[in-house]
Amino acid sequence: MEVEVKLLKTWSSLFGIRIVGALKVKGVQFEPIDEDFTNKSPLLVLYNPVHKKIPQNPFSPEDPMERAVARFWTKFGDDKVMSSIWEAFIKGRKEEACAFAPAIEKLKLLEEELEGKQFFSGERIGIVDIAFGWLANLVPVLEEIHAIKMIAEERFSILHACMHEFSKVPVIADCWPPHEKLVSKFRAIRESLLEAPPHA
């Protein structure tokens, strides 16, 4: 029987990994298809003919209030947390001390939100946990490259524990790309950005 759900993604995409995790948690059978953006498949162009980007289908709680809260934290993670960590990551050694300050402030808010909970969604993994899954997947990669501990247990004990528990869930960990492969990719990205001439 042909699998009805086809997931178009790239092997290292945080958003693709997020959807893989969500589908596995929900028990949805799907066929993962890794795309090459230098040679986009006809299927990708067919489903997104205008932007030719990978379409995504979010999972949301049924309760309107819970859905609104989930949307807020998901957007906060994508727009604020991810961007602040990335900005710190691509800075040089002289700038990184100041660059990490905004990221630390955002992480403090996550620590507060997790107070008294195992996961963002409570005792079970929900859409917000899936959305923040990159913290457990990518942050250790960036920490290794930077030789700095961003989410240290002594500073963010609750967030650190949440990341640890999330990473132990088999259906989540199984969909993550190899750690060393990610280290190689993001180290190359950082080096190329640091070597690039500043904009005029």
- Write out pLDDT tens, residues 13-32: 777 777 777 788 778 887 77
pLDDT tens sequence across 103-162: 999 999 999 999 999 999 888 888 899 889 899 989 999 999 988 888 999 999 999 999
CATH fold match for the domains 5-47 and 64-189 = no
Going by CATH, does the domain composed of 64-189 fall within 1.20.1050.10? yes
Beta bridge partners of 34: 9
pLDDT value of residue 177: 87
44-52 LR contacts (CB < 8 Å, sep 24+): 44/8, 47/8
54 vs 129 pLDDT, higher one: 129
Average pLDDT over residues 68-79: 91
What's 5-47's CATH class? Answer: alpha beta
Q: How far is CA 4 from CA 72, 115, 162, 200, in A?
A: 30, 39, 33, 50
Domain boundaries, the chain: 5-47, 64-189
Beta bridge partners of 131: none
